[in-house]
Structure 1
Amino acid sequence: MGDKPGAKPGAPAPKPMMPKYMNFIIGGASGMLAICVVQPADLLKTRMQLLGKKGKEMGLANVAKSIIKHEGIFGFYVGLSAALLRQATYGTGRLGAFNALFDLHKAHYGPPSFPKKIILGMGAGAFGAYIGTPAEVALIRMTADGRLPPEKKRNYKNVFNALARITREEGITTLWRGASATVSRAMVVNGAQLGTYSQAREVLMSYMGDGLPLHAVCAMIAGFITTVASLPVDIVKTRVQNSETGAGQMEVLRNVIKNEGIITLWSGLLPTYAKIGPMTILIFVFLEQLNKLYFTLTAPPPPK
């Protein structure tokens, strides 16, 4: 978000500003389009996290083969409706909150510095994560269902059925089970992703020049750092949200380290990285294209 160009005599007309509500809509749509591409990697990550030590022993390829064997190729898209709702809530909320905080800071104190941008990003991530927690809980439940024996399957029809049944059968507060873990992860993800992406971009700009290749390389670097930093929090969050007893974060963390070893906290590293890197690139690509489409459709007709 840059400063508005000055209206100097003879200068080209300033680019029209997009209404704030369109930032929410386009931001959410970009995330929803991106998740459609990376959903299989996200499902693999969740399955490996829930399998714990067994997941490490099986390996990524064998977990994928098991899904295809027992659930078919469409098994990789179980929980897609919940993933889309998560992007529509978490993604939209994060973007909207960041833009609002950025504009507020700029109006009162001027453009925020880099450290302040990180803080704003962490705050926006926390807000988006909190409102997106119900969809996150439904997503974890739906993607975990395929590994359960028939008598324990929840068999949610879609995300709305899952939300309704969880509310009816377990109480509405269950929809925010693991909210603190989800918020913690979102703050780590937003901080790590923003910081490393900006630093990588600054270092590589003189070698690569600005453009899509630079953005792609920086996104992959940021994605890896973000994955390593956030995966322990993500695994604890996943276990908490899939728990039927309402176990807390510290209890789950202690049990994982004691029973499965500390390395388990980085279980699913490859599929998580396979999601975060491309997801970052895809969101930016879709965001740019949707922005262009908006301005094309709303541009005034050329004079006759």
Structure 2
Amino acid sequence: MGDRDWRPFIYGGLASIVAEFGTFPIDTTKTRLQIQGQKIDPRHVELRYTGMVDCFVKTSKQEGIKALYCGIWPAVLRQATYGTIKFGTYYSLKNVLAARREDGGTKEHLATNTFCAAFAGGLSSAIANPTDVLKVRMQVGDEKRNLVRCFAEIYRVEGLRGLWRGVGPTAQRAALIAAVELPVYDSCKRALLPALGDAPLNHFASSLLASLGSAVASTPLDVIRTRLMNQRKLKNTTEPMQRIYKGTIDCFLQTVRNEGFLALYKDRKLLRFHYNGRELLREHQNFTY
């Protein structure tokens, strides 16, 4: 234990937190745009916003600038767990498996990197799922309580399952992002070393290329998990249950049936901007590692 390198965990977590503060207003607009237009949910049938800028301006005018940061503390708590576990698990597991190969880990192995990244992303996002649920509920505007009270209310009304609402697509999305992002980032960084060296510019460029692909690939799962997290399923109630999505596949089918296939790619440009900005900020903090 004394020889264990904790830097990937510490740097990854700190960088994720800093990046979250920088991109959170974009994340709030993304969440609100993904929620609107649902035929199955009467609370969000109306198309209130026409796009990213319109959502940003209307939210600021109607609810104040503070509303764009509503849910920031569950997001910070999420990054302190998700970011720390993901980066630390990825690099630690990769080093362990590399040491067992015949080449002793002197060469990068794409299959190993992809497996480690997917495992780290899925595991960390599943553990941090309750913070994601809190963040989504507060961003949409349904929850105005502080972090602890919001947590207690969801647990009281919806039970433990309410805190892990949408954990399936969340883990799948995180695994997909990590499986694309981290190996591509490592490959790009290594390919750019002769020209740029191990400098911040290399990390920025590598992060940009890696996050572009992962954001596009994960957008449908991101829309689905946001909608699942925002719905409520009350426990111990005699009232008729409101219509809700039964799971990932049901949400996918109903979204496509009611809103068209492109609804799964709502605001893909916004998603790319959000992920790119967050990854660039994160790597700026992490480039010395």
Residues 63-212 of structure 1: pairs in structure 2 closer than 5 A? 63-109=55-101, 110-111=104-105, 113-145=109-141, 153-158=142-147, 160-201=148-189, 204=192, 208=196, 210-212=198-200
Give the alignment partner of residue 22 of structure 2, picking from 37, 43, 47.
37
Look up the SS of the partner of 1:20 in the other structure: coil
1:256 aligned onto 2:283: no
* Structure 2 stretches lacking a partner, 5+ long: 39-45, 234-243
Task: Tell me by how many angstroms 1:73 deviates.
Answer: 1.3
Count of aligned pairs? 266
Give the alignment partner of residue 219 of structure 2, picking from 219, 231, 235.
231
Residues 12-27 of structure 1: pairs in structure 2 closer than 5 A? 19-27=4-12
How far apart, CA to CA, are the structure 2 residues paired with 1:206 and 1:26?
25
Partner of 1:280 in structure 2?
A: 279
Residues 264-303 of structure 1: pairs in structure 2 closer than 5 A? 264-288=263-287
How far apart, CA to CA, are the structure 1 residues paired with 2:10 and 2:262?
39
How far apart, CA to CA, are the structure 1 residues paired with 2:146 and 2:192?
47
Q: CA RMSD in A?
A: 2.4
Partner of 2:240 in structure 1?
A: none
Change (3 A) 1:287 1:204: closer
Code of the aligned partner of 2:109: S
Code of the aligned partner of 2:23: V
Partner of 2:42 in structure 1?
A: none
How far apart, CA to CA, are the structure 1 residues paired with 2:265 and 2:86?
25
Judge conservation of contact 1:52–1:267 (CA < 8 Å) in 2: no
Deviation string 1:105-139 (CA, Å, 9 cap, x unpaired) is 13433326122111111101111011010101111
Task: Tell me by how many angstroms 1:200 deviates.
Answer: 4.0
How far apart, CA to CA, are the structure 2 residues paired with 1:76 and 1:47?
10
Look up the SS of the partner of 2:51 in the other structure: helix
1:222 aligned onto 2:210: yes
Q: TM-score, length-normalised on structure 1? A: 0.80
Task: Tell me by how many angstroms 1:96 deviates.
Answer: 2.5
Deviation string 1:60-97 (CA, Å, 9 cap, x unpaired) is 21111110111111211110001101101111111232
Change (3 A) 1:101 1:208: closer
Identity of aligned residues (%): 27
Partner of 1:51 in structure 2?
A: 36
Judge conservation of contact 1:97–1:127 (CA < 8 Å) in 2: no
Judge conservation of contact 2:220–2:265 (CA < 8 Å) in 1: yes
Judge conservation of contact 1:56–1:267 (CA < 8 Å) in 2: no
Judge conservation of contact 1:41–1:275 (CA < 8 Å) in 2: yes
Q: TM-score, length-normalised on structure 2? A: 0.84
Partner of 1:5 in structure 2?
A: none
Code of the aligned partner of 2:115: I
Look up the SS of the partner of 1:58 in the other structure: coil
Code of the aligned partner of 1:139: K
Change (3 A) 1:231 1:118: same
* Structure 1 stretches lacking a partner, 5+ long: 1-16, 146-152, 292-304
Change (3 A) 1:206 1:21: closer
How far apart, CA to CA, are the structure 1 residues paired with 2:274 and 2:52?
14
Change (3 A) 1:213 1:44: same
How far apart, CA to CA, are the structure 1 residues paired with 2:192 and 2:47?
37
